[in-house]
Amino acid sequence: MHSPCSLNIDVEWQTLNNTLQQAANETLGKRKKRRHKRRLNLWNEDIKNLIENKKKAYLRYPTTRSETDNLEYKRLEAIVKRETRKIKRQCWETFV
C-alpha cells in the first residue's frame, strides 16, 4: 500500500505542518469567528416566479427590439421591486 519512504514523508509533513501552525498561532494569534448577521427570509416561490418572468421578458427584448416587449420588461421589473419591498417590510415586522 504505502512504501516506508512515503510514510516517513507523511509523518515529516504532519510534523512540519503542526509546527508551522503552532508558531503562527503564537505569533499572530487566532481570529475570532464572526457571527453571521441574521438575514430576513424573503425568498419564496412568488418572488422566484416573478423574477423568472422578468428575466424572460429581458431576454426577449433584444431579439425583437419591440417597444411592447421593452414596456413589458419594465412593468415586470416594477412589480418585482414592489413585491420585494412589501415582503421585506412584512419580514422586518415579524422579525422585530
pLDDT at position 93, please? 85
Reduced 3-state DSSP string for 52-81: HHHHHHHHHHHHHCCHHHHHHHHHHHHHHH
Q: Which has the closest alpha carbon to 86: 50, 35, 34?
A: 50
Q: Write out the H or E segment, with its range, that includes residue 34.
A: none
Virtual CA dihedral for 6, 10, 15, 19, nearest 10 degrees?
120
Q: Give me the residue spans of the domains in the chain.
A: 45-95
Structure-model confidence comparison of residues 42 and 74, the more confident one: 74
pLDDT at position 88, please? 86
pLDDT at position 39, please? 64
pLDDT digits over 26-66, tens only?
888 887 777 766 665 667 888 889 999 999 999 998 889 89
Mean per-residue pLDDT of the chain:
85
